[in-house]
Every structure is written in structure tokens, then in C-alpha cells.
Amino acid sequence: MTSTIAIQKLQEELDKRGVPKDEYKIDQASIPEVPSMADNYDLVITTTQYTNPNGKPVTNGLPFLTNIGLDQTMDEIIKHLDLKPTK
């Protein structure tokens, strides 16, 4: 449930910043599924404590649930993924 809320908020924030949907892909997975999926993605966003053994960067997704530090988290995601916001 929390990951679904976080994904919805992430999508809202990307839309609000004018990031075109064809510039990124969002998927949802449980923590045990992450290692098998990580090679297909550039960034892991998690709402729980996680150390990624695959070497992929991990971003704390709690700001999508609390709104605390959300702008900073979005700036980090946009910078890391080299997204091009238009707003």
C-alpha cells in the first residue's frame, strides 16, 4: 500500500515539473525482487531501509509519504536520472 502511494506521488511530482513520461519508467517491486530487477533500472527508490548489493543508487522514498524533504528528493532523482523538467 505505501509503495503504491509513493509511486502515485512520484508520478504527480514528475508531472508537476513537466518531465515527459517517455523519459522514465516506474515499476513497483517488493524488496526481495529488487536484485533480480535492478539491472533494468538506473535508480531504486524505497520506502524502507535497503542496502542495494547490485551497486545501483538507492533513494529514500519516505518523502513521498510524509512530504518532508520532498523537493530535495525530487531534485536528487531528476539530477541522477538526467531528466529534463520543463517547469
Predicted local distance difference test score (pLDDT) of residue 26 = 95
Crossing angle, helix 70-81 and helix 2-16, to 10 degrees?
70
Name the helix (H) or strand (E) containing 45: strand 44-46
CATH, residue 9: 3.40.50
- Confirm whether pTM is higher than 0.85: yes
Whether 40 is covered by a domain: the verdict is yes
Q: Please give the residue range of the domain that contains residue 24.
A: 2-81
Give CA–CA dist 23/56, Å, rounded. Answer: 19
Whether 87 is covered by a domain: the verdict is no
- Count of structural domains, the chain: 1
Note down pLDDT in tens along the chain; length 87 residues: 788 999 999 999 999 999 999 999 999 999 899 889 888 999 999 998 887 667 888 999 999 999 999 999 999 999 999 998 887
Give CA–CA dist 62/69, Å, rounded. Answer: 9
Whether 86 is covered by a domain: the verdict is no
